[in-house]
Amino acid sequence: MAIISEYQEEERPPSTSTFNGTLDHSNPLEFLRSVFLFVSRETDFFKREAAEKEVAMLARGIREEERKKKAEERDLEDKGKAEKRLKETKVEPEKKAEKAEKAKEKVEDAKAEEKEGTQVPNKGNGLDLEKYSWMQTLQEVTVTVPVPPGTKSRFIVCDIKKNHLKVGLKGHPPIIDGELSKPIKPDDCFWSLEDQKSVSILLTKHNQMEWWKSLVKGDPEIDTQKVEPENSKLSDLDPETRQTVEKMMFDQRQKTMGLPTSDEMQKQEILKKFMAEHPEMDFSRAKIS
């Protein structure tokens, strides 16, 4: 049989007190003391025997949470560093592979040029060969032939003809002996011995409006579309010749870029004008030649 006591513990109304305190970072214990005093005044917490242990457990729990938080932050930092190192180790081989690919492309381009029978011209718009080198302007060709140091001019053999060039040393096979790529003006040509170690030959072109592909026939040829004329020398030409040269240079650049030449552009303009004047005609199959 249940016994119901007439005494019923009086419920304590909730506290409406507020805590006022300021945390001094240099003395956090004073702030905690104020908190504990407030809790002691407002509650029976510190009257319990387990209160001290519970406060200590709370402190240890907070310390453990802080330790875990720092450990997680270190793990994230280490992970970020590891990912960065991994990315760098991946990027480095990619850069090497890219460089290797570019080098491979250059070799392939060089092989393609050799296969086509033409080479990129040197800075003088000519070619450096094993036994001699040559460069050119539209008007002249300059040939340089190395000879043993100390060579005297009387030992030089240099025979310049309209369509033929022979250069060498007396008593030795000629260094150059062949038909010139294009005719020259022999009377306007000459040679000289430079510092007793090289023969310099100046050849004046017969046609001064074209680029040579090679010095003598049968030798390696250059790609004349890659010739880079010196613009500064255009001022030395007469107006008519300069205009022709500038037109040639423009057409050469256009061809290199796959664009129409000045003559083709002029024909296109004429066709457009004619089409505008005759709208009744069908030009869908019209071709410019």
Which domains does the chain carry? 127-204 (2.60.40.790), 239-277 (no CATH)
Gyration radius of the chain over CA positions: 47
Report which of 247, 245, 228 is spatially closest to residue 237, judged by C-alpha positions. 245
Q: How confident is the model at residue 6 (pLDDT cuts 50, 70, 90)?
A: very low
Q: How confident is the model at residue 203 (pLDDT cuts 50, 70, 90)?
A: very high
User: Using an 8 Å Cβ cutoff, are 191 and 86 in contact?
Assistant: no
pLDDT > 90? residue 44: no
pLDDT > 70? residue 2: no
Q: Of the ranges 14-18, 198-202, 219-223, which one carries the lowest mean pLDDT score? A: 14-18
**What is residue 170's predicted lDDT score, i.e. its pLDDT?**
94
Average pLDDT over residues 133-146: 94
Q: Of the ranges 84-93, 122-131, 205-214, 240-249, which one carries the lowest mean pLDDT score? A: 84-93
Q: How is residue 50 written in tokens?
A: 């387990």
Average pLDDT score over the chain? 82
**What is residue 5's predicted lDDT score, i.e. its pLDDT?**
44
Cα separations in angstroms, 33 against 28, 37, 47, 133: 9, 6, 16, 96
pLDDT > 60? residue 165: yes
